[in-house]
Structure 1
């Protein structure tokens, strides 16, 4: 559970950054997003689901990973958030190499 309470082993808190709520920034990790998918700094779970379709000609697998992690955060952890997740949590998936260090 992401509580920002240190449990001793991991020293880095899960990042959150409001700058990911800006459409041009969000497009860096979710290239098919547009203003209709964003409401009050949130992206709809339904839009994230569109990235999860596996296609043989899909070249950008990292986009699928970014969308999947954000989808799971919104679908499992923030179930009461009206089927949306804050775009600020794109900071979590921006650098996947640091994800193992999150508390």
Structure 2
């Protein structure tokens, strides 16, 4: 689970970056996103759910993984946020090689 609670001596905090709130940047990780899905720098969880259906012709499995991480953040961390999650947390899923370092 991604948290900023110190488990080890030198914790690595989950990164946050507002640049992912810009539509052109968000499209790098969510190709089907448009202005209707973003409100105040947040994405609707219902839109994230559309990426979680695995199709036979799905070419970019990493998109599903990144979306799942953001989807779970929305359900675990932002339960009272009107079914949205801040796009800035895509910084945590942009480089999945560093995800193992988060506490």
TM-score normalized with structure 2 length: 0.92
Aligned to 2:70: 70
1:17-48 deviation line (CA, Å, top 9, x unaligned) = 00100001101111110111000000000000
- In the TM superposition, 1:23-34 aligns within 5 A as 23-34=23-34
Task: Give the RMSD, CA atoms, in angstroms.
Answer: 1.4
1:68-89 deviation line (CA, Å, top 9, x unaligned) = 1100110122101110000000
Aligned length: 102
- In the TM superposition, 1:43-54 aligns within 5 A as 43-54=43-54
Cα displacement (A) at 1:6 = 2.4
Aligned to 2:93: 93
Q: Give the gaps of 5 or more residues in structure 1.
A: none
Q: Give the gaps of 5 or more residues in structure 2.
A: none
**4+ runs deviating over 3 angstroms:** none
